[in-house]
Structure 1
Amino acid sequence: MDIADLSQLSSADALELVSRLHQANEQLQGSAVTLSRLSVALQESLGPAPAGALGALQAIGQFLTVQHSYEELATLVHQQSVEVFGMDGGALFLLDESSVLTPIAPSDAALPNPSALEHIADLARRALDAEAMISAPGESDAYPACIALPLSRMGQDVGVAVLYRAAPEEPALSAEMWANLTIYGGTLGAICAGMRQAEALRRDARLLESLLAERARQVQNSRDILRVVFDHLPEGVLLLDHDDVVLAVNRFFADRIAGVHPRELVGRSYADLRQRLHLRGMQRVAQDDEGRAEVTLPDAGGRLHTFEVERTAMQTDDGATLEFWRER
């Protein structure tokens, strides 16, 4: 559904948007559960670990429960590459809306130099295409040895994490380390997918908020226009609810018939209004079988006016009616 043009969004599309928000929230909650399980599995697989490394691993679970930026996540990947896996650093690449792999600059750490970053990015693209973890030796000080972890969630690619160190040798991966990195990649994939879901949820919420504000403005404008038309009708009009309580009166009725401000009539019963008019001298002249009546009412100067009074039921569920007073 294209929701870029809010002015063209129908009520049905608005309901669909609400449904999408609900589904996104459920998916986000599911990602949080998966992340928690992956974090526990990673900690257990690593066995006893220094307090600093264990604290770094536990910090990863905060990214689906607390709002963080991608830059902060890139910083965490860099820190954990050093503290948990003994590397010199880590880089995070995420797929943008055009499916282009883009490096995310850490919030408090520098990216590798341009030549090293290009080498790391090339390995990241290879890992993403292969949909598998790969490692590569370094070639010089400018080309570090790397391990690239493709990140995905439920079969959907989200990016790549690359752990690197300034050494020519290809990183040696034991079976245990391979398993740990696989779990770590799954954890990061869940985090990135969850952050993307949260970002989409916030974006849709902002769109929905804008839509509702625009619809409220349109409704208010429509009411203002209708009120102007209502007040300028050349006859008196009353809006009554199913209990004959006055909901609205137009300016003609208030000024020419009741002789008071409209707010003094709204909320009163129709019986009270008729009594007020009788005290002003209203007399019924005639009434036909269809409910139309003819009444006379003197104005402030004593001049007698004749009105035809007719009621019309509205096609609404609340039983409201309109009563028209037409001067003859």
Structure 2
Amino acid sequence: MISIENLVKTFPAAGGVGEVSALRGIDLEVAEGEIFGIVGPSGAGKSTLLRCLNLLERPTSGRIVLRGDDLSQLTGAGLRAARRRIGTVFQQFNLLHARSVRANIEFPLELAGLDRKQRRARADELIELVGLGGKEKAFPSQLSGGQQQRVGIARALASQPDVLLCDEATSALDPTTTDQVLDLLAELNRSIGVTVVLITHELGVLRRICTSAARLADGRIAEAGRILDLVGEPGSVLGDAIVPVGVGPSEGDGADTAVVTTIGDEARGPWLAQLVRKLDADISVDGGRVEQVAGVTVGRLRLRFGPGVSRADVDAFVDAQPNVTLSWGVGAGVDGSSWAGAATGGVVT
């Protein structure tokens, strides 16, 4: 669907001397029909990547391929046509306040040259699709933040794009409205098959609706994959942050610790009791959490093993369990607040 190949974006440095690197060789694949989340700390390059995807910024080098077409090489009419294949939902809605709901949704269709009858029919269809029936004559000032974002989503879908880009689309909304907008995006993904790419700093967005994700750091892809694979991958910073289990014990306390991740039915299964019986040893729980991730139950526990417990015996037990993984060590798992790390110098958002 979308293939990003060795994407580089630089900007002139302040004072015109040298360059600032925003993206440093991004390679990424987004499959057809996915909801793909892109996360990272401030300054990691998330917004720059999105602006390259919707062609508001020209990459310095590299390729962006959408269904076989290299968008980075397009100009003129070809570039304008490509932009109609990519809808964008903005953080601050960016509605035209002198236009009604219907007229805002019709605006990109006016630019595309559709006649009034065609515009009206498409806008009214989208108004119903995003749950704003009866609001077609209202103006943005008469709508709540969530309703305004629904207008923004409808407008982004007006040209029937292949992909919907969402730039921090819920960060200006309260938690309840955020969930409603995320559920709407998930329903649109299911009902009309549009591929969704979300730029966000909110891990709850990944947990609630994303099927895959990538973590940016210092203008590079630090890790990427299916959400459930990341959560189950020992040592994944993003997986640890999506389902955190708290800060681990300090070095030198003499105890073996591990984080065990269970996915699906195993998250509520009796595996821990079975492990205690098998080892006939003391095992304490230092932290844990159960979450719904991509619609699947995921559980994580930080376990502390008493003296004399063999790691080999624990590993053998875990290996025999379906959908269970284990990561040993004090550093296994994070608290969920420091997952993003700090951006390094010379990178912009």
TM-score, reference length from structure 1: 0.22
Computing the radius of gyration over CA atoms, which structure comes out larger, 1 or 2? 1
Larger relative contact order (Cα-Cα within 8 Å, sequence gap ≥ 6):
2
Q: Which has the higher helix share?
A: 1
TM-score, reference length from structure 2: 0.21
